[in-house]
Structure 1
Amino acid sequence: MKKIGDAFKDVRKSVCRQLDKESRTKLFKNRYLFKKGNENVTDEEYLILLEHFEKSSYLEIAYELKEEFRDIFMLDSKKEAIEAFQCWCKRVKDNNIKEFKKVINTVNNWYEQIFNYFDKKLTNGPKNLIYLLKT
């Protein structure tokens, strides 16, 4: 998840460089809004996102792909997740979101370990490590 966040930040910075000064300032001020998951965005915040998406379809597509990537880890089965990841990779390539190609490479390099998450829904995060130590 960190990789997708970092990659999206690179998209935002790239888009920012192409905007006029006023739009750059607004995008910078709202940078934390892009870190939120869709489920945590208020109606008012969504309108702000839409304003930014009107200025950059690249940013909009990247945001959608970031959210789709997060959604993969909400799926119930490994098979569904693998299929969703493959579809996600195709969308990244079709839309030429070059910043996300690093995410694809990382997932492919750690494919088995990442998708083993779906066997027990455990990660190597601190909360899960404490759980494993207690059991």
Structure 2
Amino acid sequence: MSCKVERKGNDMLKGHRYTFLKNKLVPKLQNERDLLLEMYPRLGDGYRLMHLFKDFWDIENTEEAEGYLAYWCDIASESKIAPFVKVVNTIKAHWSGIFNYIES
């Protein structure tokens, strides 16, 4: 199920797109975001996966980065959230190129 499908019929999510994309929020929006993440667990799973993926780029050790990305791919696949499964397939198809980039 995609996020668009989950959004239909859930009027509480209306107007909150950037609430999930912004890094810094005022406290009121942080509270609203946290409430929505609890109310919509699938959305919460996707939000956590997004932040876990961002952490990958901060890892400087190549072997550690490779292990972390493999772990992330496993949990993203297990989530069965279609956009993340698609990203995992793309990452796996370009695995060596990603790590050649990181090494250089």
- TM-score range, shorter-chain basis? 0.7 to 0.9
Q: Is 1:14 the counterpart of 2:5 in the alignment?
A: yes
List alignment gaps of at least 5 residues for structure 1.
1-9, 121-135
Find the partner of 2:18 among 24, 32, 46.
32
The verdict on how the C-alpha distance between 1:82 and 1:29 changes in structure 2, with shifts beyond 3 A counting, is: same
Between structure 1 and structure 2, the one with the greater Rg is 1
With structure 1 as the length reference, what TM-score do the two structures score?
0.67
Give the alignment partner of residue 45 of structure 2, picking from 45, 61, 76: 61
The CA deviation at 1:28 is 3.0
- Output the CA distance in 1 between the equivalents of 2:96 and 2:33: 35
Between the aligned partners of 1:118 and 1:42, the Cα distance in structure 2 is 34
Q: Secondary structure at the match of 1:99?
A: helix
- Which structure has more relative contact order (CA 8 Å, sep 6+)? It is 1
Structure 1 runs (4+) deviating above 4 angstroms are none
Displacement of 1:42 in angstroms is 4.2
Unaligned runs of 5+ in 2: none
CA distance in 2, matches of 1:43, 1:87: 32
Could you tell me the TM-score, scaled by structure 2's length?
0.83
CA RMSD of aligned residues (A): 2.0
